[in-house]
Amino acid sequence: MGGKEDPTANGSPKSESMAGKKASPPDLLSSISLKSLKLKTKQQELLLRVSILGLVYVLAFIARLFSVLRYESMIHEFDPYFNYRTTLFLTEKGFYEFWNWFDSESWYPLGRIIGGTLYPGLMVTAALIYWTLRFLRFFVHIREVCVLTAPFFASNTTLVAYFFGKEIWDTGAGLVAAALIAICPGYISRSVAGSYDNEAVAIFALLLTFYLFVKAVKTGSLSWALASAFGYFYMVSAWGGYVFIINLIPLYVLVLLITARYSLRLYVAYNCMYILGMLLAMQIRFVGFQHVQSGEHMGAMGVFLLMQVFYFLDWVKHQLNDTKLFQTFLRITVTSAILVGGIALGVGTASGYISPWTGRFYSLLDPTYAKDHIPIIASVSEHQPTAWSSFMFDYHILLFLFPAGLYFCFKRLSDATIFIVMYGLTSLYFAGVMVRLILVATPAVCLISAIAVSATVKNLTSLLRTKQKVPQTGSTKGAGSSKSSSKVTLDQSQPFQKNGAIALLVGVFYLLSRYAIHCTWVTSEAYSSPSIVLAARGAHGNRIIFDDYREAYYWLRQNTPTDAKVMSWWDYGYQITAMGNRTVIVDNNTWNNTHIATVGRAMSSYEDEAYDIMRSLDVNYVLVVFGGVTGYSSDDINKFLWMVRIGGGVYPVIKEPDYLVNGEFRVDKGASPKMLNCLMYKLCYYRFGELVTEYGKPTGYDRARGVEIGNKDIKLEHLEEAYTTSNWIVRIYRVKPPTNRL
Amino acid sequence: MADHKNLPHHFLLSLSLLSILAVSQPDRTKDLVSLRSSSESGVIRLKNDTVSKFITSVPTPRPYSLIIFFNSIDLNSKTLQELRAEFGFASSSFLANNNNRSDVANKLFFCEIDSSDSEAFHLFAVQSLPAMCLVDPLMENPQDQEVKIDEYDFDGTAESVAEFVERRTNFTVGPINRPPLLSKPQISVIAALLVISTPFLIRKVLKGETFLHDTRVWLYGAVLVYFFSVSGIMHNIIKSVPMFFRDEEDSNKLVFFYEGPGYQLWGEGLSVGFLYNLVGLLLAYVTSALVRVRNVNEQRVVMMLAMAISLLAVKKVVYLDNWKTGYQIQTYWPSSWH
């Protein structure tokens, strides 16, 4: 769909050429109709551009509605449930209540200060949209607003991409970039309707900040710099990924300084953006003084100081006429500046004023770090390194266009293209380290690929057109945006070129149409699943829906005491609090590793040991997710080794080898005795030994792992089964009170 | 044990007399030394016949100890081969550290038995791999459990092998020397390249046009970084994947492409990354550099070639991606078109 927009992106020069021929008699008819419309060439172009952008805007929105059509209007995955819950709270209780909210329903018995530990941008945005709609007398439910926030912001991102593309190359590239990013799977994966997560808003904010900053550098105007500072503020309020901005922009400035591109424009843009952005960012409580104290932000401060040195040197050079004197002065200043900076950094780090890098940031720079040291980061599937197929899946044809785009950028180096190249390369490197960061790289990949498409198509079409009107080359030269490229090719008018150009154009459009097909298909099949409702194909190709999660959470809500505490692995914490409205021990905000490790230890201990842990945490119910009946593979048994690792990281009594046989994780008869009798195994496979899951297989055949389980005779002593959902995906157990000691 | 002590001694006396007549024992040690010197990292590959020659048919006390690693090439296990490499490091370090002390070096030999020599393999009743055992001079029954090295003693590093050897025998292995990252021929090649390129570099620097001033170098660098990222090299480094697998059924067949998303081998990432860059740079070349070529025929040929190559490369990558992820991309036509 998006690919079809692209040819029209280059329609503008064509219409110009038509208008250029107005005077000649054969075109009389068309000129009359044009005249009756009373549109000049520029107006036509504008009309085309605006209508294309409008279509792309709508397209970006509707491509993300597959999930609503396929399933229903609901919140997806895990984190969005927390966001939804807090947004609900915000709209009901107001901003100050929200800001000061202490949530006692999660992290029992510790609780969590919500206002101080979240990025409120998303919730505030959704609440503002909601209030605006209410004000305009559209009475929608807050859930619908939340579901559609991501597509709405994706549409806005296409606009920003257009302006950005226009800034770094030309309007054609801008339009192509908008069309590409509208349907790029790398972005859609995080912004379908229902994925109400920080990233949905953050990518818009990220691109906006970058665009405004590039604009500020180009113009040197304070207002653009101010705007980019506010863009940065929005980004900080929305997502922890703002660290990328506050490191990339200084790096970019540094590169400009090194390549002797220092100018007053740069000075104004960076200083204003940094100082104001910093002051604004510190208003977000979760960031606060980290912005001036943590190691991740030190680069920006260093570059800020360096800018002052540059400015100072410029001034001194202006004052001193003696070059020799200036050289000496330069040497002394640079050395002492570096020395002072180094000493300050050393003292700051040693005294604890500057905190060292966080694990996530560190694992980006030294990718093997997390694997060895931080299991809680390494355990998350979206923190895994990226294989080539994931890149192909998310970018498709853009991967082929990217090197060409790089080439064109280097052919026409400017402050803006330097920025986009740096953004593209750094973000792609990070995307290689962590799958989820493909998202951050997507805008850059789309922009650079758009440059490739636009430059190629423009070169080729101008070739075609010069062929047609060799005698009137003069008029083409004046044709607005295609000046530079047509100049190169004007003097070439061999007959062959036309055919070649047509063939190449057809090739490019074929590729783009494949891209459109790929994106649409991937969006509908791979990225629109809410993951809280599972779908599978039956034996006859029919669609089977497993709605066990919601069944279980509503059961909790209806059938347990309101103050019941539910223990589960942290993945389900947000959903239990949001949908089940019950207190949980740990949830997806993994701020307290020890607490999570305690749960991991309970899950991997024998039942009586686990009982003591659960008693100490006042646990009333235990919830496990089990896919043995349905063949659902991301269940707790498959996550179990991570529970062991995280538990063992804090409590050395838990040892991973105890659960393995020859380094292999097994659940069948050959499994280790500790595995066969730990709490998690018992809770998942309780009564499973009586069940026939598949025709022709023995009882207790686990379909997720394809084996017959090893312990079919499970007796529970301290827990009892409370509820098992219709497809056995969620199983809830009640913790019995201690037996009467009389 | 005590009851049996006398019996072997009598038996031993008579046996040793016999054996002195047949083959003198120092010869065996000599054989082992020569075998060791001809094998890589000093690990002697024991076969069915050599096992009986050096272990079963030699009367106790043997003049040497053997530490045996049980290997299986056919199993294609990466972890097993890593352990084998560590075992090799322990062996070579032992040799290097006791180089001039033949009284020590010739008393302990590092050996391996492959599962293809099934007779020798079964002699030790090895049930599962990885397994190692120590044949000390007094060992009688190879199936004895005491012979085996406990799983807990061996955590997969050469250091733990060394530690075990030091605990159970009187020999010291000493510090483990792992081979450097670059071997000697590699270093010499790099050095040669450097030497050859130095004059060119010096000329450039003198002229003031170092490669850092050239945008083309930066372009190549950028393309390289791109290649590095999208071909999944970070994935390969973090997960330390091998270049290729051996086929589980046929050990001569190599598997370069791994089916299933989320994991890849070195070979496939590199080849696909290469294709990305090939097509992209061809496109850039055709649209901006080729148009300046004056010769029409040349243009024509290059363009056709470029288009054919690009088409093939794109088709190949899309096919591979569909195969790897298991997705089949289909078009959604309006329902009235069916």
pLDDT at A467: 52
CB A12 within 8 A of CB A174: no
Across residues A472-481, what is the average pLDDT?
35
Confidence of residue B303 (pLDDT cuts 50, 70, 90): confident
Per-residue model confidence as pLDDT tens digits over A645-677: 899 888 989 888 889 888 788 888 888 989 999
Contact A400 B280 (CB under 8 A): yes
- Residue A567 pLDDT: 94
C-beta neighbour count of A311 within 10 angstroms? 14
B interface test, pick of A183, A400, A411 with most B CB neighbours within 10 Å: A400
Task: Give per-residue pLDDT as tens, A589-644.
Answer: 878 889 999 999 999 999 999 999 999 999 999 999 999 898 888 899 999 999 99
Q: Closest by alpha carbon to A392, among B313, B292, B284?
A: B313
In terms of pTM, does the model score above 0.95?
Answer: no
When the pLDDT of each residue in chain B is averaged and rounded to a whole number, the result is: 76
Question: Is residue A595 a contact partner of residue A578, using CB atoms and an 8 Å limit?
Answer: no
Token pair for residue B202?
């010096």
According to CATH, the topology of domain B27-168 is Glutaredoxin (3.40.30)
**Tokens describing residue A221:** 């105007």
Helix-, strand-, coil-residue percentages of chain B, each rounded to 5: 60, 10, 30
CA nearest A595: which of A637, A650, A636, A642?
A650
Q: Which of B269, B291, B317 sits opposite A489 (nearest CB)?
A: B291
| CA gap A360, A244 in Å, rounded | 12
Å between A409 CA and nearest CA of chain B = 9
Q: Tell me the average pLDDT across B48-65.
A: 76
pLDDT reported for residue A12: 41
Q: What pLDDT, on a 0 to 100 scale, did the predictor assign at position A473?
A: 38
Q: Is residue A85 scored above 70 in pLDDT?
A: yes
Are the beta carbons of A390 and B296 separated by less than 8 Å?
Answer: no
Residue A484 — pLDDT band, cuts 50, 70, 90? very low
pLDDT at A552 over 80: yes
The Cα-based distances of B233 to A369, A433, A434, B237 in angstroms read: 16, 9, 12, 6
Q: How much of chain A, in percent, has pLDDT values that exceed 90?
A: 51
- Which of A202, A65, A61 lies closest to A125, judged by CA? A202
The whole-number pLDDT of residue B49 equals 77
What pLDDT shows up at residue A480? 34
Which position has the higher pLDDT, A733 or B205? A733
- Residues 197..236 of B with a Cβ closer than 8 Å to A: which? 215-216, 218-219, 222-223, 225-226, 228-235
Alpha carbons A706 and B259: distance in angstroms, whole number: 19
Which residue among A403, A492, A511 places its CB closest to the CB of B284?
Answer: A403
Q: Are A114 and A86 in contact (CB under 8 A)?
A: yes
Residue B132: which pLDDT band, with cuts at 50, 70 and 90? confident
CA distance A648 to A665: 16
- Are A176 and A461 a contacting pair, CB within 8 Å? no
Residue B7: pLDDT over 60: no
Question: What's the full length of chain B, in residues?
Answer: 338
Give B245 or A215, the one with higher predicted confidence.
Answer: A215
Q: How many CA atoms lie within 13 A of B58 on its CB side?
A: 26
Averaged pLDDT, A124-148: 94
Q: Is the pLDDT of residue B8 over 60?
A: no
Give the confidence band of A218 by pLDDT, cuts at 50, 70, 90. Answer: very high
User: Using CB atoms within 10 A of its CB, is residue A741 exposed (0-12), middle (13-18) or buried (19+)?
Assistant: exposed
- Cα angle value A20/A26/A30 (rounded, 5°): 65
How many other CB atoms are there within 10 angstroms of residue B246's CB atom?
18
Q: For chain A, give the mean pLDDT.
A: 85
Distance from C-alpha of B90 to C-alpha of B161, rounded to nearest angstrom: 7
- Quick one: pLDDT band at residue B146, thresholds 50, 70, 90? low
Cβ contacts from A onto B, under 8 A: 180
CB atoms within 10 A of CB B45: 14
A552 or B61, which is more confident: A552
Residue B151 has pLDDT above 70, yes or no: no
For residue B331, list chain A residues with Cβ-Cβ distance below 8 A. Answer: 517, 521
CA–chain centroid gap for B286, Å, is 42
Q: What is the mean pLDDT of residues B279-298?
A: 80
* DSSP states along A342-401: HHHHHHHHHHTSSBPPPHHHHHHHSTHHHHHH-HHHHTSGGGSPPPHHHHHHHHTTHHHH
- Contact call for residues B129 and B58 (beta carbons, < 8 A): no
Integer CA distances (angstroms), B326 to A188, A569, B319, B323, in order? 20, 30, 10, 5
Residue A300, pLDDT score:
92
pLDDT at A13 over 50: no
For residue A35, the model assigns a pLDDT of 55
Q: What percentage of chain A has pLDDT greater than the value 70?
A: 87
Region A39-65 average pLDDT: 92
Q: What is the mean pLDDT of residues A317-331?
A: 79
Cα A316 to Cα A38, A263, A327, B25, B337: the distances in Å are: 59, 15, 11, 89, 74
Q: Which residue of B has its CA nearest to A489?
A: B291
Query: Nearest CA to B290 among A492, A457, A476?
Result: A492
CB–CB contact B291 A492 (8 Å): yes
With CA atoms as reference, report the closest residue to B257 among A460, B265, A542. Answer: B265
Of A101-115, A566-580, B169-183, least confident by mean pLDDT is B169-183
- State how far Cα A347 lies from the chain centre: 36
What pLDDT sits at residue A265?
93
Which CA distances in Å does B4 have to A157, A305, B134, B140, B148? 86, 84, 21, 12, 21
Q: Which of A88, A63, A62 is nearest to A75 (CA)?
A: A88
pLDDT tens-digit readout, B101-126: 777 777 778 888 887 777 767 777 77
- A386 touching B (Cβ < 8 Å): yes
Residues from chain A that touch B327, judged by Cβ atoms under 8 A, are: 393, 521-522, 525-526
* Chain segment B18-49, per-residue pLDDT in tens: 444 444 555 777 777 777 777 777 788 877 77
Task: List residues bridging with A622 in a β-sheet.
Answer: A567, A733
Among B255, B276, B252, which Cα is nearest to B267's?
A: B255
The answer to whether A444 and A427 are in contact (CB under 8 A) is yes
Element (H, E) at A707: strand A707-708
> Stretch B290-299: mean pLDDT, rounded?
77
Q: Which residues of B touch A452 (CB under 8 A)?
A: 280, 283-284
Residue A485: the pLDDT is 38
Q: Do the chains contact at A432 and B283, CB–CB below 8 Å?
A: no
d(CA A250, CA A297): 10
* DSSP for residue A678: B
**pLDDT of A731:** 94
Q: Does B292 touch chain A (CB under 8 A)?
A: yes
φ/ψ of B322, rounded to 5, equals -65, -40
ipTM of the assembly?
0.79
Q: Give A332-381 pLDDT, tens digit per residue.
A: 887 888 888 888 888 877 777 776 666 666 666 666 666 666 666 667 77
Which of the four pLDDT bands, split at 50, 70 and 90, describes residue A181?
very high
Amino acid at A636: D
A44-58, A146-160, B203-217: the lowest-pLDDT one:
B203-217
What is each CA distance from A15 to A30, A472, A501, in whole angstroms? 11, 16, 19
Which pLDDT score, from 0 to 100, does residue A625 have?
94
Q: Is B324 on the interface with A (CB under 8 A)?
A: yes
Q: Which residue has the higher pLDDT, B38 or A20?
A: B38
Residue A469 has pLDDT above 50, yes or no: no
> Which chain A residues in 552-591 lie under 8 Å from chain B, judged by CB atoms?
none
* Structure confidence by residue, pLDDT tens digits, A685-720: 999 999 888 888 888 899 888 899 988 889 999 999
**Measured between CB atoms, which of B232, B280, B321 is closest to A386?**
B232
Given this model, what pLDDT does residue A297 score?
87
Indicate the pLDDT class of residue B298, thresholds 50, 70 and 90.
Answer: confident
User: Worst-scoring range by mean pLDDT, A204-213, A441-450, A473-482, A722-731?
Assistant: A473-482
**With an 8 Å Cβ cutoff, are B261 and A520 in contact?**
no
User: Cα Rg for chain A, rounded, in angstroms?
Assistant: 30
What is the per-residue pLDDT across A395-422, written as a single tens digit (0 to 9) for each? Answer: 988 999 999 999 999 988 899 999 999 9
CB contacts, 8 Å: A459 with chain B: 287-288, 291
Q: Is 90 exceeded by the pLDDT of residue A389?
A: no
